[in-house]
Amino acid sequence: MVTGKQQISLPGYRPKNARGLLLFVLFWPLFFFARGNDPFTVKEHLYQIDHVRKLIVINQKSGQIDAQWTKPRTSLMLDEQYYFAQVFNTIENGIAYKVVNSDDISYTLYFTQLPLVHISTSYEIVDEPRVPAEFLLSESSGNTLHANIGIEYRGGWIQSYPKKSFRIEFWEDKSGRTTKDVSMLGMRNDDDWNLQAMYNEPLRIRSKTSNELWKLFHTVYYHNQESDAVNGIEMKYVELFLNGRYYGVYALSERVDRKQLQLKKYNDKMRGELYKGVSWGAPTFSSLPDFNNQDIYWEGFEFKYPEEVTDWINLYGFVDFVMNATNHYFFQTYPVMFEKNNAVDYFIFLNLSRATDNTGKNIYVARYDQGEPYFYVPWDLDGVFGTMWRGDKENKTDDILSNRLYDRLISDCSENGFHRELTNRWNNLRKNQLTHQTIIDLFKKNFHYLSENGIYEREENAWDQYKTDEEHMEYLSEWLNARLSFLDEAFNKPCVPHDNSGEEDERITIYPNPATDYLQVEIKTGVIPFELKIFNHLGQIVFAETWRDKLQTLNLSTFQPGMYYIRIQSPNFNKTKKLMIGK
């Protein structure tokens, strides 16, 4: 760890007390050497000072300073003049320099390449609602952004940590009545952003690197139609000062939303859809209770888009399909219900990173347009690559993470089925994108960037409970090597087909379900003729007819959206199924 040098008195410094006078006498040759040197002035937006922690961070480019500052480095002009404890000739990022001001108060000063963010507010920041604040971002290039924002805490359990994560929204003015889109650090143009604290990440590199890795080998299947669509988020490191206090390194990140995925906008009916897995249950296809369209939460999912209406019918139908469809119908239909390439890539990513908290929770389920398949979008990637969600190491590399969807997909042994696609995709990715060297280089790039800019020292200074684990990169590399070896074997095992011997002979197919405009009922020989009845959620019969054809189509235009039950009866057959009718 880099430490600053001991303070001595300085050229041009006028001692105000006995201590200062003693230092002046001891180091008078240094004063004589630098007499007459003018301080180098740093522009106001290129530095921040924490007067409580006695910390100064400057993000003006060091090469730019060296080019402009031709005299020996003796003092800087910031909010006042600060004097270096030692004369030097070049500026280095990440070095702890000792300086004192004219009142004999010692500060530690760093130069950094990271953008600086300062947020100031006179309000107490809470979980909700957002409170007004001023936002200033400065880059080492000199670019700045000064704007009004609303700010609130984000996350669940992570709010219990001393270092909080924030959600910020850019406003046209302090009232917050109108939002404002901004682009920062080369990322997208938007009004809604996250500042992620990464407090539970040992080296503050897992979330950012994992998102970079995901985007390295996966793109949305409709990218040719929507070139701006990105399946994932981008994150950039910044250093945060809040009301003059240094809060350490943060990841300024985009959000997963309709705009990021370029989902089709609502047009008097559901088109693009977006749901967030916030807990277990339906996200892992392990439960299927009734839903309430008055509630934006249903059995572990949060309804995110469209904003104009809340209607769970489509997602309910998908979960029902995964949980209850017969194997014959499931294997025949799942590529229409869920985008297979995305399913393959996310299964690889889930298990490569061993994201134990991301098998259903901490994941988005999206649909580009009506009639299109669902697909996964990763999110909240902190407990990965050998750590758990609290940041503790878990050196386990020999298991497969799954959910009920993947439990079924993995037994698709057809020629172009999921298992074959998984094996081929894994072996192809292992040649280039997913080698040990490629992955560990992504981690090292972020680690060295933070280390060379002195971030870990400042994190320890800001947060007493944080200590840098200097051997963690070695642990991560060894863990990754073992994980890759295990997956090389696991993903190349022969496919084991599902045992259909105990499965019920399905003699009725109802499609689509959920339905909107029409319903098709297909009956096999042996059931005809049959009586079809439809009951509403109160148990009242709303439709009843006797049908004699194998394939019948029912017009649903007169049915109100909601949950129904369809019953089919014949002398030797009796079957009742749930039927969801949407708008």
Say how many domains are in the chain: 4
Same domain, 234 and 141: yes
CA distances from 106 to 20, 30, 102 (A): 12, 18, 10
Is 502 contained in some domain?
no
Same domain, 308 and 452: yes
**Residue 36 structural domain:** 18-111
pLDDT in the model for residue 33: 44
Contacts 24+ apart (CB under 8 A), 529-534: 529/570, 530/568, 530/569, 530/570, 530/573, 531/568, 531/569, 531/570, 532/566, 532/567, 532/568, 533/566, 533/567, 533/569, 534/564, 534/565, 534/566, 534/567, 534/579
Is 496 contained in some domain?
no
- Where a domain ends, among 253, 288, 323? 253
Preceding peptide of 514 cis, ω within 30°: yes
Same domain, 161 and 42: no
CATH label of the domain that carries residue 564: 2.60.40.10
Q: For residue 483, give every residue at least 6 positions away whose Cβ sits within 8 Å of its Cβ, in sequence order, or none.
A: 352, 354, 386, 397
Same domain, 400 and 481: yes
Is 418 contained in some domain?
yes
Give the rounded distance of the alpha carbon of 320 from its chain centre. 27
Same domain, 106 and 121: no
Of 466, 483, 259, 460, the C-alpha closest to 352 is 483
pLDDT in the model for residue 521: 85
User: pLDDT below 70 — which residues of the chain?
Assistant: 1-37, 499-507, 524-527, 538-539, 571-574
Is 381 contained in some domain?
yes
Is 372 contained in some domain?
yes
Of 489, 484, 547, the C-alpha closest to 520 is 547
Coil, helix or strand for 200?
coil
Same domain, 445 and 339: yes
Same domain, 443 and 575: no
Report how far residue 283's alpha carbon sits from residue 564's, in angstroms, rounded to the nearest whole number.
23
Six token digits for residue 115: 């953008």
Report how far residue 419's alpha carbon sits from residue 410's, in angstroms, rounded to the nearest whole number.
5
Same domain, 57 and 193: no
DSSP class per residue in 486-543: HHHHHTTSPP-----TT-----EEEESSSBSSEEEEEE-TTS-SEEEEEEETTS-EEE
Rounded to 5 degrees, φ, ψ at 47 are: -150, 160
Q: Specify the pTM.
A: 0.83
pLDDT in the model for residue 15: 54
Is 497 contained in some domain?
no
Distance linking the first and last C-alpha atoms of the chain: 62
Q: Burial level of 515, CB count in 10 A (0-12/13-18/19+)?
A: buried
- Where a domain ends, among 253, 288, 318? 253
Strands ordered across the beta sheet of 301-305: 297-298, 301-305, 273-277, 363-367, 374-378
Same domain, 465 and 544: no
CA angle 318, 319, 324 (to 5 degrees): 100
Same domain, 426 and 567: no
- Where a domain ends, among 111, 138, 158? 111
pLDDT in the model for residue 550: 79
Contact 554, 519 (CB under 8 A): yes
Q: Which amino acid is present at 399?
A: D
Is 434 contained in some domain?
yes
Same domain, 293 and 435: yes
CATH label of the domain that carries residue 465: 1.10.1070
Same domain, 360 and 446: yes
> Residue for token digits 């303070």?
7
Strand segments, DSSP code E, in 279-356 are 297-298, 301-305
Is 212 contained in some domain?
no
Report how far residue 74's alpha carbon sits from residue 35's, in angstroms, rounded to the nearest whole number.
10
Helix (H) or strand (E) holding 152: strand 144-153
Across-strand partners of 117? 137, 240
Q: pLDDT by residue (tens digit) across 539-568? A: 678 899 888 887 888 999 899 888 888 878
Provide the angle, in degrees to the nearest 10, between the axes of the packed helices 340-353 and 418-429: 60
